[in-house]
Amino acid sequence: MVDYVICLGSDAGPDGLEHPHPSSSPPPSLHSRIDELLSSSDDDDHGPAAGSVNHTVYPALRRMPIAISIETEVVERTEEEARVQLGIWVAAQAKRIHMLLGAAARQRIRGTGMGTEAEVEEDVRRILQRALFPLLFVQTDTWTVYLARVSLVDNALPSTGGPLRVHIYTSFVLGSTSSIVGIYTLLSGLGVLLDWVTTEYRRWWEAILDFAEGKEIGVVG
């Protein structure tokens, strides 16, 4: 479990960041499509995250896809420990998306009689491998960002929910709260990340929903 997340469709707090809130909701079109995705997986979804688009049942996050995960550590903990924890978290998030896509594909196959799991595997693989998961590690005054991608192990089918590999790339310091310059640098970097959430990450989720609904997925092709 990480300490904080930034989501699609969350409220902006007084600090300028987006924070999930039980009373907030994604834009109606995205929200309704997420509801459809979740309902299409009901017959196959009996895990602890059933009824949630994420891999957590925290009520405020059930309908808001997690975009950026934030881990905070005290000075005694190492950066490597944070990387491991963030990697496990991303793997669980990707596995949840993997399961939802597989469930939607099976529903479509049962309803139309067209296609097989083997045929949708490549589309699921393409969608997941195009995803980028920014991860923030905060230790004392320093904010560090990692970029993670996931890939499916060969022969993994959507119905299996895995296995997945997580690749975390070299980190860089986003900013620091120890100086005025560092704070402005941090806010600028967070602004870039938030712009990415509302554009690129949103388009990626729209492509996920297109796939679940049997539409073209050219955005991730």
Is 176:144 a contact under the CB 8 Å cutoff?
no
Choose between 33 and 149: higher pLDDT: 149
Question: Which tokens in the block code for residue 138?
Answer: 């905060």
Condensed to tens digits (0 to 9), the pLDDT of residues 118-144 reads 666 777 778 888 889 999 999 989 999
Helix, strand or coil, per DSSP, at residue 47: coil
Q: Is the pLDDT of residue 47 over 70?
A: no
How would you classify the pairing of strands 142-152 and 164-168?
A: antiparallel
Q: Would you state the structure tokens that stand for residue 163, as one six-digit string?
A: 């296995």
> Structure tokens of 155?
């022969």
Most confident of 42-51, 75-84, 126-135, 153-162: 126-135
Would you list the domain boundaries of the chain?
4-216
Cβ neighbours of residue 78 closer than 8 Å, sequence gap 6 or more = none
- Residue with the bigger pLDDT between 12 and 4: it is 4
Kindly report whether the global pTM for this prediction surpasses the value 0.85: no
What is the predicted pLDDT for the residue at 174? 94
Q: What is the pLDDT of residue 189?
A: 94
Query: pLDDT value at position 8?
Result: 83
Tell me the residue ranges of DSSP E strands in 21-171. Answer: 66-73, 133-139, 142-152, 164-168
Query: Tell me: the pLDDT tens digits for 53-96?
Result: 888 878 888 888 999 999 888 777 788 888 888 888 898 888 88
What are the tens digits of pLDDT across the range 13-30? 444 444 454 444 555 477
* φ/ψ of residue 48, rounded to 5: -65, -20
Q: State the pLDDT at residue 104.
A: 76
Q: To the nearest whole number, what is the mean pLDDT of the chain?
A: 77
- 3 pLDDT more than 50: yes
pLDDT at 183 over 90: yes
